A and B are shown apart, each in its own frame.
Chain A
């Protein structure tokens, strides 16, 4: 195959090329990140001071809901799929993803799904306003008309994710270059393989949940209605059976990313490769039996609460193994602190803090005090922003030279990092305090006693938002007039993508498989 690019807009519409599709995923997710972030700005502006200043409570709820949905399904998940598309074939020595046409379809469904979801903002009755967890019956009998478009939008995202996951699994199982045994694969590939498995197991369950919602809303069924013999709590069980593995879907690929970056800048091999693989698999398996830790207050039988509490706490063990392995990788390495490394280090520290608050939440008797307060909001932003988002950001800085053949400006990257680091903590750390002081989540107005924390969080949030716009500028400037990158931009890097191809990576790589020993 020659290295010719198709041109024009059909290059993007009709493409079967994993690199093009990867780029589209990444750009799409960044746009969604800005939109979801802009909604967070609305939330934070309203919460800057007590009193209702900018929006009415119903619109506030719509913002919360759409912010959560867009960040989770529009920003984080597609960004991870984008990375998978770009990197997996290059890392395992494959010419492309296993099912390239389907790959294109997986991507192109997304912009349409989110058009549908976002259009609900302009519908009569407004956008979904029942939280990203859309608990019944608030979302069924009491949901606005746009709920149905939300449901269908979720179906579309689900189809896209499932196809994407199938593609990843098949590529990894069937397309590895000769000699690339499973236990030689870069850890990023491993984490994505396991993520894809989680996706296939839980996205259909989400589809089932929203289907039951749809029939409850319009066809007279009573899945979530006690009057007909159903149970609103059953909604939560089915939702969280999806929802909890979903949070690991968002974090496992980021684990993979930092597991590539930390060894590079430590100039030392990853510590405990095989235990990393097993730990990731354990996290994934455990994630299926912990879902009800989101539901300690719903009145489950005590035996259930005990089971879910203990199973949840167990997840700290394999996650700890990963954290310790990263630390051991840095230990006695020859460290340098380029931007990707800085983001990875911040990832390890801040994710761990988020994990600690997770363990606190897992303790059922105390969770009665934390549940549905800003303490939970603090927890999940710590694992999501400095977790998933920092992970992706690190990946972009790390592989941008390979993708684009251009090197970003290191000073600009470092400024981006330090601003992000400061503002992310300023935004989300005070939320621990407002939560402990008793501030419930999803409220547009609050008592004076929470005012200070909220003010700091809002100031941090505006700074964080602007910082991310700055990131966009950095990337655009790099693409426009960055310095030419070397084939192996990072001294300590290893792996096929650095060793076996120039920068930028040619349009088609590994048309003939590389030799691996």
Chain B
């Protein structure tokens, strides 16, 4: 290999000790512990009177976790600004981010897989397809296989969410946000600070609008359409897919807000802007997931 890599290699910065990981591990433990107890208390699995300390522990630990992330990133930002990070380190971060996104893809794949499996196989089987004639005849004689499944085998009914209202608007919003973010990214590479700041902020704003509309949609589903988490498999897949997507949009939006602030502070240079790129990739990933959602959850 070339001497160039060799030279950079010597700069590989191995951070000295850091307290944040262990703080994060403890916080994660209490998030799980508090969260688990909270679920138990609120669904009355364990009779504990009206105590709600589970929720409090959860929130406190969450706060510690956020603090930890903040401090950890502050350290990295400081190191980055001090110029400790070589191009090789940037590559480490970038590759790390890409593989992280890959793991997120697989997380969504589990839910998309469940959706497709149910639609393509389970519902027809319950309706007597394949080797399941007797399943239909003996166990669910009145069941009508269809998708969206508006009436489950046990008789729960719901309405299906159409594609051309809010979801279509949201699709447009996310597509636009991808476009604004790309403009911002190019502005960064061209060292156009003002455009960078403007377009990054607009993207974050679009994220917020998307989320607001999503809340509206859920409200509509719960209150007017009878579409809830409990509405059989249609509601299950609908809310878990869109819900986890919404959660990711939230993270992405926060990410974008932080990036906007850092843009305003002039943290990024044309060459060194790993954090910005990571945020952008993340946002595009969230976008692509939405496209799949729009097609498989709403349209088809």
- Which positions in A face B, CB cutoff 8 Å? 1, 6, 10-11, 13-16, 94-96, 98-102, 104-105, 108-109, 111-113, 115-116, 124, 145, 148-149, 152-153, 155-156, 159, 162, 165-167, 169-170, 173-175, 177-179, 200-205, 207-209, 211-212, 214-215, 218-223, 226-231, 234, 237-238, 241, 299, 301-302, 508, 511-513
Report if A98-B40 is in contact (Cβ < 8 Å); known contacts: A16-B17, A105-B21, A175-B12. Answer: no
Q: Give the docked Cα–Cα distance between A15 and B15 (Å).
A: 9
Flag if B96 contacts A98 (CB, 8 Å): yes
In angstroms, how far is the closest chain A Cβ from the Cβ of B248? 13
Contacts of A109 in B (CB 8 A): 24-25, 28
Q: Is B82 part of the contact surface with A, judged by Cβ < 8 Å? A: no
Q: Give the docked Cα–Cα distance between A113 and B105 (Å).
A: 24
Q: Can you sample 25 A-B contacts with CB below 8 Å?
A: A10-B19, A13-B19, A13-B22, A14-B18, A14-B22, A15-B17, A16-B16, A16-B17, A101-B15, A102-B21, A108-B25, A112-B28, A116-B32, A145-B45, A152-B33, A174-B88, A175-B12, A175-B92, A200-B106, A208-B114, A211-B240, A219-B229, A229-B232, A229-B234, A237-B113
Contacts of B12 in A (CB 8 A): 94-96, 175
Residue of B20, B25, B43, B96 with most chain A CB atoms under a 10 A cut-off = B25
Instruction: Report the nearest A residue to B26, measured CB to CB.
Output: A112
Q: Give the docked Cα–Cα distance between A133 and B232 (Å).
A: 25
Q: Is B164 part of the contact surface with A, judged by Cβ < 8 Å? A: no
In angstroms, how far is the closest chain B Cβ from the Cβ of A147? 10
Q: Is B67 part of the contact surface with A, judged by Cβ < 8 Å? A: no
Contacts of B162 in A (CB 8 A): none
Q: Is B35 part of the contact surface with A, judged by Cβ < 8 Å? A: yes
Q: A95, A175, A229: which contacts B118 (Cβ < 8 A)?
A: A229
Contacts of B121 in A (CB 8 A): 231
Flag if A237 contacts B21 (CB, 8 Å): no
In chain B, positions 39-57 with a C-beta closer than 8 Å to chain A are 39-40, 43, 45-46
In chain B, positions 151-177 with a C-beta closer than 8 Å to chain A are 152-154, 156
Flag if A237 contacts B29 (CB, 8 Å): no
Chain B residues with a Cβ closer than 8 Å to the other chain, count: 78
Interface of B, helix, strand, loop or mixed by DSSP: helix
Q: Is B223 part of the contact surface with A, judged by Cβ < 8 Å? A: no
Contacts of B36 in A (CB 8 A): 148-149, 152
Q: A202, A204, A223, A511: which contacts B236 (Cβ < 8 A)?
A: A223
Flag if A226 contacts B32 (CB, 8 Å): no
Contacts of A207 in B (CB 8 A): 107, 110
In angstroms, how far is the closest chain B Cβ from the Cβ of A10? 6
Q: Give the docked Cα–Cα distance between A166 and B228 (Å).
A: 37
Q: Is B295 part of the contact surface with A, judged by Cβ < 8 Å? A: no
Q: A94, A112, A205, A513: which contacts B107 (Cβ < 8 A)?
A: A205
Instruction: Report the nearest A residue to B105, measured CB to CB.
Output: A204
Listed from nearest, the 3 A-B pairs whose CB atoms lie closest are: A208-B110, A220-B230, A229-B233
Contacts of B104 in A (CB 8 A): 204
Residue of B14, B123, B228, B235 with most chain A CB atoms under a 10 A cut-off = B14
Flag if A512 contacts B229 (CB, 8 Å): no
Instruction: Report the nearest B residue to A159, measured CB to CB.
Output: B28
Residue of B9, B139, B230 with most chain A CB atoms under a 10 A cut-off = B9
Flag if B22 contacts A104 (CB, 8 Å): yes
Flag if B126 contacts A226 (CB, 8 Å): yes
Flag if A16 contacts B18 (CB, 8 Å): yes
Contacts of A101 in B (CB 8 A): 15, 18, 20-21, 72
Known: A109-B28, A231-B121. 18 other contacts (CB 8 A): A14-B22, A16-B17, A94-B12, A99-B93, A100-B14, A109-B24, A116-B29, A156-B28, A162-B100, A200-B99, A221-B239, A226-B139, A226-B153, A228-B156, A228-B233, A229-B234, A241-B110, A302-B131
In angstroms, how far is the closest chain A Cβ from the Cβ of B108? 8
Contacts of B237 in A (CB 8 A): 223
In angstroms, how far is the closest chain B Cβ from the Cβ of A238? 6
Contacts of A115 in B (CB 8 A): 29
Q: Is B224 part of the contact surface with A, judged by Cβ < 8 Å? A: no
In chain B, positions 209-261 with a C-beta closer than 8 Å to chain A are 228-230, 232-237, 239-240
Flag if B35 contacts A152 (CB, 8 Å): yes
Flag if A204 contacts B110 (CB, 8 Å): yes
- Which positions in B face A, CB cutoff 8 Å? 1-3, 5-6, 9-10, 12, 14-22, 24-26, 28-29, 32-33, 35-36, 39-40, 43, 45-46, 72, 88, 91-93, 95-96, 99-100, 102-107, 109-111, 113-114, 117-118, 121-123, 125-126, 130-131, 139-140, 149, 152-154, 156, 228-230, 232-237, 239-240
In angstroms, how far is the closest chain B Cβ from the Cβ of A57? 23
Flag if A100 contacts B117 (CB, 8 Å): no
Instruction: Report the nearest B residue to A120, measured CB to CB.
Output: B36
Flag if A105 contacts B126 (CB, 8 Å): no
In angstroms, how far is the closest chain A Cβ from the Cβ of B226? 13
Instruction: Report the nearest B residue to A152, measured CB to CB.
Output: B32
Flag if B154 contacts A227 (CB, 8 Å): yes
Instruction: Report the nearest A residue to B112, measured CB to CB.
Output: A208
Flag if A215 contacts B233 (CB, 8 Å): no
Contacts of A108 in B (CB 8 A): 21-22, 24-25
Contacts of A95 in B (CB 8 A): 12, 14
Flag if B96 contacts A99 (CB, 8 Å): yes
Flag if B100 contacts A166 (CB, 8 Å): yes
In angstroms, how far is the closest chain B Cβ from the Cβ of A98? 4
Contacts of B130 in A (CB 8 A): 301
Q: Give the docked Cα–Cα distance between A161 and B124 (Å).
A: 37
Instruction: Report the nearest A residue to B9, measured CB to CB.
Output: A513
Q: A16, A204, A205, A513: which contacts B6 (Cβ < 8 A)?
A: A513
Contacts of A104 in B (CB 8 A): 18, 21-22
Q: B9, B72, B240: which contacts A215 (Cβ < 8 A)?
A: B240
Q: Give the docked Cα–Cα distance between A191 and B160 (Å).
A: 47
Instruction: Report the nearest A residue to B153, measured CB to CB.
Output: A227
Instruction: Report the nearest B residue to A99, measured CB to CB.
Output: B96
In angstroms, how far is the closest chain A Cβ from the Cβ of B46? 6
Instruction: Report the nearest A residue to B151, measured CB to CB.
Output: A229
Contacts of B32 in A (CB 8 A): 116, 149, 152-153, 155-156
Flag if B107 contacts A208 (CB, 8 Å): yes
Q: Give the docked Cα–Cα distance between A111 and B100 (Å).
A: 23
Instruction: Report the nearest A residue to B149, measured CB to CB.
Output: A229
Q: Give the docked Cα–Cα distance between A124 and B47 (Å).
A: 11
Contacts of A222 in B (CB 8 A): 152, 230, 232-233, 236
